Structure 1
């Protein structure tokens, strides 16, 4: 009876996972196949196109400055990822290692600020960027992304809390300072956390639309998300299949990164989920 019950539960679990996988994969498959379908309409009587064409991918680079949009997005995402990861790790290390007046209040304030949606501060940020003459620049976007990255310090702090204290104390006895300990001991042991933080920072900057749309104006300054959105809005006859091809091109680097770093990503999520 007990074995039968476990088998039923296992079967239902696998069935639920299959249904979830179908709901998750179907939109992605539909977009990929739509990008290979002739014409400009996304509507089709069949899921699999009767004829496959790659003209929409070619048109992305010939009719639109897609290569420039791609370069802009990669540049912003990589710089934001590097600087944001460094600031997040340093913030987490400070809160994990140091004990100072107001530490808990600052942590609680950062946690509360992190709960609010980012677009709530966009008007204030827009005014600041206007006064600093930084509108329509990639530097403005990078500054905001990097400045907001430390709000996710909790994963880093909890990870550092699990570090073996004996190694750190031994290094301090040998005369190592906090910077040397952080660079030579903490970071080499934090590969899962670094990968997780980097992927999250890269993905956030690579796929962001709202803030990039607010700041960027010139066609040569646009990112992929802004460029594809404007590509549909500016044309009297929107080419939805070309748009689908652009969506596939956007998904390629992010998907490859997640697949390549999947093991470290899972380890980082697990380590950061434990309360320290």
Structure 2
């Protein structure tokens, strides 16, 4: 009995320490978020103040973010980002699902070498190719355009097929074979059987494909140059922190950061269950 009590006490102590650690980590993670929200409502201007809690609160930072367009065009940049993210997401999802299904279900020559090469190429960060990509776009006269951003973000999406392929591998091939025996084509098997069974990985792919262009700064800064009208949110917010603008625009920058985080937060809250299922299904595969 004493041994059982000792084990229960040790388990209780471990749980207490685990919860304390999780609480500390959550505070560390949430503190910057809480601070940027407070700053977005702060009435005092300036990038630095010697106190944490604002002395006055206002919503003018949000209002002026959209109405003061003499220097920055936040509303236009928001729409540019949304357009690029939506179209990049659609193209990337189509690429990833198509390549993943082909590699999961079909057997053809050079399949294994292709997967190995794709795995190696996927280990290199995308920004290593940004100079080459820029000169290719410049040769095609496509720089400083939203179409260029959409092509850049979606072109390499096919290399990210491993997670989706792992999920497709968990779907029994006997289902496909039964449908083929009944006269279904590969396209019908894919669209009528595999896709309805793959909602978790589709949502996972959509979320990851949407998030990349929504938050990217590096490729936008290289491709867009000084074309203010075609900026996206990430580059526009960075420009607000330049020395000549930071005093006036810092609070508005915080407001812009809060606004840009809302759509992606809503998406993750609504679809987090499917996101987790997609990732876990791929790991099992």
TM-score with structure 1 setting the length: 0.96
Larger radius of gyration: 2
Residues 226-245 of structure 1 aligned to structure 2 (within 5 Å): 226-233=235-242, 235-238=244-247, 239-245=249-255
Residues 96-111 of structure 1 aligned to structure 2 (within 5 Å): 96-111=104-119
2: distance between equivalents of 1:266 and 1:13?
22
2: distance between equivalents of 1:250 and 1:237?
19
2: distance between equivalents of 1:235 and 1:242?
14
2: distance between equivalents of 1:183 and 1:124?
36
Q: 2:23 aligns with which of 6, 12, 18?
A: 18
Are the aligned partners of 2:130 and 2:219 in contact in 1 as well (CA < 8 Å)? yes
Aligned to 2:196: 188
1: distance between equivalents of 2:229 and 2:272?
34
For residue 236 of structure 1, report the CA deviation from its aligned partner. Answer: 4.7
Q: Mind listing any 5+ residue stretches in structure 1 that lack a counterpart? A: none
2: distance between equivalents of 1:40 and 1:102?
61
Are the aligned partners of 1:40 and 1:242 in contact in 2 as well (CA < 8 Å)? no
Distance 1:244 1:236, change over 3 A: closer
1:153-189: CA deviation from partner (whole Å, max 9, x where unpaired): 0011000000022211110101111111110001101
SS of 1:261's equivalent in the other structure is helix
Is 1:90 equivalent to 2:98 in the alignment? Answer: yes
1:8-55: CA deviation from partner (whole Å, max 9, x where unpaired): 111111111111111111111100001111122243344332321011
Q: 1:49 aligns with which of 47, 54, 69?
A: 54
How many matched pairs? Answer: 275
SS of 2:242's equivalent in the other structure is helix
Q: Mind listing any 5+ residue stretches in structure 2 that lack a counterpart? A: 1-5
Residues 166-205 of structure 1 aligned to structure 2 (within 5 Å): 166-205=174-213
2: distance between equivalents of 1:28 and 1:73?
22
Aligned to 1:145: 153
Q: 1:246 aligns with which of 235, 251, 256?
A: 256
For residue 146 of structure 1, report the CA deviation from its aligned partner. Answer: 0.8
TM-score with structure 2 setting the length: 0.93
Are the aligned partners of 2:44 and 2:55 in contact in 1 as well (CA < 8 Å)? no
Root-mean-square deviation (Å): 1.3
For residue 232 of structure 1, report the CA deviation from its aligned partner. Answer: 2.5
Q: 1:68 aligns with which of 76, 88, 91?
A: 76
Aligned to 1:273: 283
2: distance between equivalents of 1:256 and 1:145?
22
Are the aligned partners of 2:166 and 2:282 in contact in 1 as well (CA < 8 Å)? yes
Distance 1:91 1:237, change over 3 A: closer
Aligned to 1:260: 270
